[in-house]
Amino acid sequence: MKKTCVIIAVFTVLIIGLVGCNKENSKNETPAIVDVTENVAGTFEGYTLADSDYFSDYLTEQETLTITRKDVNVVDVKLESNSWGTIEITGAAVSGSSAPYTISGSGKCAMSMGPQVSEYDCNLSATIYGTDSDVATFNIPAVMGGTRVTFHKGNAPVE
């Protein structure tokens, strides 16, 4: 009888230990990372409005913004502008589990003045709603006291 009680006690402790380990493991599991780059990637036609210390609301139409998936929640962003040259942000971070998504990163802007091309550092802050309200603002601190070029998807407003 004493031997049976000892065996039951050992099995009880063993079962409690196993159940306790399973509960502990499930609490420490890392949630799955959701890749949202497919919700922001694409090629978009639109226009830019630019501001600096020397001018405001400088409109350029027929601009192209391309967002390309690079990795999980990482994209490359490229603005091809008739006025501002080519702005490229590689390895920009995408955040948000649903719209609006944000994209942020740093890169380079290649502007030409005649035959000479100059390269400037720039930063990107974009908000992607998945509608015509999408905007991407490129800040270029070294140009004209700090220039902000904001891409808007769709047609320029008629004044």
CB 121 within 8 A of CB 106: yes
CB 63 within 8 A of CB 47: yes
DSSP label of 37: G
What's the pLDDT score for residue 109? 95
What is the maximal distance between C-alpha atoms in the chain?
Answer: 100
CB 85 within 8 A of CB 109: yes
Q: What is the pLDDT of residues 11-58, one digit of tens each?
A: 554 455 555 555 555 566 777 888 999 999 999 999 999 999 999 999
Nearest Cα neighbor of 135 from 123, 122, 153 is: 153
| Reported confidence tier of residue 10, pLDDT bands at 50, 70, 90 | very low
What's the pLDDT score for residue 6? 47
What's the pLDDT score for residue 90? 97
Q: What is the pLDDT of residues 77-134, one digit of tens each?
A: 999 999 999 999 999 999 998 889 999 999 999 998 788 899 999 999 999 988 778 8
